Amino acid sequence: MSKKILFLIADGMGDYPIAELGGLTPLAKAHTPNMDEMAAKGLVGLVRTIPPSMPPGSDVANMSLMGFDPLTHHTGRGPIEAAGLGLDTHPDDLVWRLNLVKVSAFKPGGTMLDYSGGHVPVEKARDLVADLQAHLGGDEFTFHPGVGFRNLLVQHAGKDSPEAGLNIRAPHDITDTDISPDLAEFRKSPKLWDLVLAAQKRLAGRHNDTEANAVWPWGQGGPLTLANFKEKYGLTGAVISAVDLVRGLGRAAGMQVLDVPGATAWVDTDYQGKVNAAIEFLKHGDFVFLHVEAPDECGHVGDTNLKVKAIQDFDAQVVGPLRRAMQNQDAGFMIACDHFTPISVRTHTKDPALFLLSAPGLQNSGVQAFTEDTAQKSGILIEPGHEFMPWVLSKLAV
């Protein structure tokens, strides 16, 4: 029987020492007997998932971890999420992420109050996007519903248009910030400016009882194209994640995207559902990329204790059960964070991510725990990050 490979991602797990935790990081503080034992018997190290010239996004980092070079393949957030939603796009299209947002005023001097429009409920967001499409959609621009505030705008045959070069900031990066520079960017394209103004007027209508009062197109790029994972690595793979962009990467690489109904991207996510989906898939498939979002969200909200808990849950409810399920099989485990989301920073940083590699017969790095510190002291740094996957496969002799 061929080797089974499990790649488990704890999004945003990496962190800095925190005084409140006696100078430990959340990972070092957390009780993680599974990962510690695997680290002791396996290899730990660092992987540079974010190329120095790129922003530290989960899209960039997870693309690296899956073995694809973001410098070549990353065109924007919009295209990856479009792939995740299975949206049909043409190679010439320009695909935008379209947030439903709340601004103080959609004019110079206005500020971004909420990148999620008050977390617009999914059904209401669908109605709003359908209304925008009915009234403003046409041959050139079409509106497509996603999940809640996260939607898409397709600019048909726009891949090489001037709009492709506009530099609109991600709305979650500019909370309580003056939006004048972004409006100036929108204005460089008269048709896009007309569209966002018209959308704002529609959202001011009586049919809208949500807090969203404007649309915010950003993260645009040509459709995502990735080599087929099976052809590239010879492994039949699947992706398990609640997050559209990770699902999009998997789908674009021709991997199966497994649905787990209880997956929420928050600490209440259905870990058991994810674990069961992985075990079920590995009865016939070779490779599972299982992504857990919760540690990252805890980093963004700045909740130290919740982040410790999210990491403990990951160890106890994801790593542990999968280890037990695979104990009598020839299975290799990679465990990594995609990037750091330090509590003290509350957003992503470019620090190299930490990983551990565990498989029968592997030389071991002789550490006693899986922490930022042991990973750093191992002296192993894989860069660029898309070389991690081939490096691992060579270690596992796949």
Binding site for Zn ion (CB under 5 A): 296
Give min distance, CB of 175 to Zn ion, in A. Answer: 14
Q: Determine the residue with CB nearest Zn ion.
A: 296
Give min distance, CB of 156 to Zn ion, in A. Answer: 31
Nearer to Zn ion, 10 or 239 (CB): 10
Give min distance, CB of 311 to Zn ion, in A. Answer: 15
DSSP conformation class of 368: S
**Measured torsion, CA atoms of residues 292, 295, 298, 299, in degrees rounded to the nearest 10:** -130
Only one residue has tokens 């410098």, namely 71
What tokens were used for 256? 């199966």
Q: How far, in Å, CA of 228 to CA of 209, rounded? A: 44
Nearer to Zn ion, 14 or 222 (CB): 14
Give min distance, CB of 77 to Zn ion, in A. Answer: 12
358 Cβ neighbours under 8 A, 6+ residues apart: 38, 39, 41, 42, 43, 332, 333, 335
Nearer to Zn ion, 185 or 296 (CB): 296
Give min distance, CB of 207 to Zn ion, in A. Answer: 32
**Got the DSSP string for 62-103?**
HHHHTT--HHHH---HHHHHHHHTT----TT-EEEEEEEEEE
Name the nearest CA neighbour of 56 among 203, 156, 170.
170
Helix axes 304-313, 294-301, angle to 10 degrees: 180
Give min distance, CB of 286 to Zn ion, in A. Answer: 29
Q: How far, in Å, CA of 352 to CA of 25, rounded? A: 15
Nearer to Zn ion, 124 or 309 (CB): 309
Nearer to Zn ion, 286 or 313 (CB): 313
Give min distance, CB of 58 to Zn ion, in A. Answer: 6
Nearer to Zn ion, 182 or 296 (CB): 296
Give min distance, CB of 296 to Zn ion, in A. Answer: 4
Contact 293, 11 (CB under 8 A): yes
Contact 224, 198 (CB under 8 A): no
Give min distance, CB of 330 to Zn ion, in A. Answer: 34
Sheet strands side by side (includes 353-358): 256-257, 237-240, 287-292, 4-10, 331-336, 353-358, 43-47, 381-382
Contact 28, 306 (CB under 8 A): no
Only one residue has tokens 């690595």, namely 233
Nearer to Zn ion, 208 or 341 (CB): 341
Nearer to Zn ion, 133 or 349 (CB): 349
Nearer to Zn ion, 296 or 315 (CB): 296
Helix (H, G, I), strand (E, B) or coil at 270: coil
**Got the DSSP string for 114-157?**
ETTTTT--HHHHHHHHHHHHHHH--SSEEEEEEETTEEEEEETT
Give min distance, CB of 248 to Zn ion, in A. Answer: 16
Only one residue has tokens 């490979």, namely 5
Nearer to Zn ion, 114 or 286 (CB): 114
